[in-house]
A and B are shown apart, each in its own frame.
Chain A
Amino acid sequence: AQSVAQPEDQVNVAEGNPLTVKCTYSVSGNPYLFWYVQYPNRGLQFLLKYITGDNLVKGSYGFEAEFNKSQTSFHLKKPSALVSDSALYFCAVRDIRQAGTALIFGKGTTLSVSS
């Protein structure tokens, strides 16, 4: 089965501190993993993806994610959080079982960055 789990509903961090938003996955075969961000009353914006290659993936707005095969994790990270990073973050895995290989999303994690 293809699935992702985001164990934290909310993450709180002070501006300037590093942030981590956790994601674990369960897949049959190779994982194709994605992170999206949703700002209030907006659609989803693509941040980054892991397909193959380097375990550390760099994306938009200074975000990066570390793929860890042994721990089946794909945590989103940023060295120094900004208040403007406050948003809802979704981890997703490509569903390779179905024709369209649609994304299967986690429940989302709300990131709150305080000044």
Chain B
Amino acid sequence: DGGITQSPKYLFRKEGQNVTLSCEQNLNHDAMYWYRQDPGQGLRLIYYSQIVNDFQKGDIAEGYSVSREKKESFPLTVTSAQKNPTAFYLCASSIDRVRNEQFFGPGTRLTVL
């Protein structure tokens, strides 16, 4: 089955620790995206990548970093510089940035204690 997987589903970290969220897709999509979703707010774009070894900042990139070493994988690191990291994080992919119908993974809920 083709799809997008994110792991883990739930993650707890202490304040000041960096944490990396995994996102893998086997849809052969070129473009991948990271969003965060907070209560009362729409999805907000953190980073996106159009092709391997390329990525761009979204609207709220501060305190986050990404890499795109393989087409299938787009991990997101939440650094200690992110002031309010507790949120629900969603990864998505699309065929490319032109055909922008995005397919989402199941999400990771990060809680920073």
**A and B assemble together:** no
Chain A residues engaging chain B, CB cutoff 8 angstroms = none
